Amino acid sequence: MSVHFELNEKVVYPSHGVATINRIVKKVISGTVTILYELKFVNKEMTILVPVNSLVQNGVRALSSLDNIDGVFKLLAQPPQRKLHPQVTSNWKHRNKAYQGKLKENNLHATAEIYRDLKSIEQNKELSFCEKNLLLQAETLLAQEIAHVQKIGEEKAIEHLRSFFNPAVQQRFSQKII
């Protein structure tokens, strides 16, 4: 499957977030001319080169649509669904491995599920250091993409995400969905 992006287009790179196609570079690698996209991350001092012919394998995708963002908000308004095996939910090591796998999928809804689940756990117990880091990573990835798609500030996107876990807001959203 071939994917093509334009210069200056925003894309999402797994586990790192939103980047801009900064340049298109031609390099000779192992005697073959390879075309690469230079991705410059919007919130990090980091730039990487990704071969154009392996964008899909590397998980690079276009920004989500407004409809997809609305779907994420609907997902966050729902209570967590414990789809994981009980051993996985009770053992942080297994849960972390499952969550890391989901983040590598570079799927906005999967990232929202991680965020929702960890926020739900946080309401019942203090998160471990690793859980807090994973929650922050999921929140940052969601906020970056929401901010770019909705053309709002990232802080505003974070506020909106966190509002789903305010008890008064949760009640209002659950009444709208029913």
CA distance 124 to 111: 20
On the 0-12 / 13-18 / 19+ scale of CB atoms within 10 A, 27 is: exposed
Question: Could you tell me how far CA 59 lies from the centroid of its own chain?
Answer: 12
> pLDDT-based confidence at 87, cuts 50/70/90?
very low
Range(s) for CATH 1.20.58.1290 in the chain? 66-177
Domain 10-62 CATH assignment equals 2.40.10.170: yes
Both tokens assigned to 82: 């414990």
State what percent of residues in the chain have pLDDT above 70: 87
pLDDT tens string 103-158: 888 899 999 999 999 998 888 889 889 899 999 999 999 999 999 999 999 999 99
Q: What is the arithmetic mean of pLDDT over 66-92?
A: 76
Q: What is the arithmetic mean of pLDDT over 66-89?
A: 76
CA distance 144 to 115: 14
Residue 97 pLDDT more than 90? no
Q: Record the pTM.
A: 0.85
Range(s) for CATH 2.40.10.170 in the chain? 10-62
Quickly name the fold that domain 66-177 has. Answer: Methane Monooxygenase Hydroxylase; Chain G, domain 1 (1.20.58)
